[in-house]
Amino acid sequence: MAGNLTIVTDADFETEVEQHQGVAVVDFWAVWCGPCRMVAPILEQLSVEYAGKVKVCKLDVDTNQRTSMRFNVRSIPTMLFFKDGKVVDMVIGAVPKSALEAKFKAHTA
């Protein structure tokens, strides 16, 4: 994957996301999900634009069901925003870049 995206799994979610100091965004997605493919390039762009401010992660829900269930992810794509390891915001569904960028700005201000 391009940009500054980090692939996370059930095994390393706690280390990569919950122990991360600052803002982390986790994209819960699946290969077969059309809307997920629509939002992927937007997240790649934002991961570059917010490098050093926001850690952008991707978690495949098909191969990491434990974490998906733990955070009650029922629709994809779902983007969870974490600050210092705690969920502070969420976006469900494919949204335009402006909507995601507004969330990134809000949590890095």
- pTM score, whole prediction: 0.95
Q: Write down how long the chain is.
A: 109
Q: How far is CA 77 from CA 18, 43, 63, 84, in A?
A: 20, 11, 15, 22
d(CA 54, CA 105): 10
Assess contact for 79 and 38: CB atoms under 8 A: no
- Interhelix angle 34-49/97-108, rounded to 10 degrees, is 40
Looking at residue 28, what is its pLDDT? 98
Domain ranges of the chain: 5-108
Low-confidence ranges of the chain (pLDDT < 50): 1-2
Task: Compute the distance between CA of residue 94 and CA of residue 109 in angstroms, rounded to an integer.
Answer: 24
Q: What is the pLDDT of residue 109?
A: 87
Instruction: Judge whether 33 counts as a catalytic residue.
Output: yes
CATH code matching the domain that covers 5-108, chosen among 3.40.50.2000, 3.40.30.10, 3.90.850.10, 3.90.960.10: 3.40.30.10
Would you call 96 exposed, middle or buried from its count of C-beta atoms within 10 A (0-12, 13-18, 19+)? exposed
Q: Which of 5, 26, 36, 94 is catalytic?
A: 36
Q: What local confidence, expressed as pLDDT, does residue 7 receive?
A: 96
**How far apart are alpha carbons 61 and 36 in whole angstroms?**
11
36 is catalytic: yes
Active-site annotation holder among 5, 8, 17, 33: 33
Q: What is the pLDDT of residue 85?
A: 96
- What pLDDT is stored for residue 89 in this prediction? 97
pLDDT of residue 3: 60
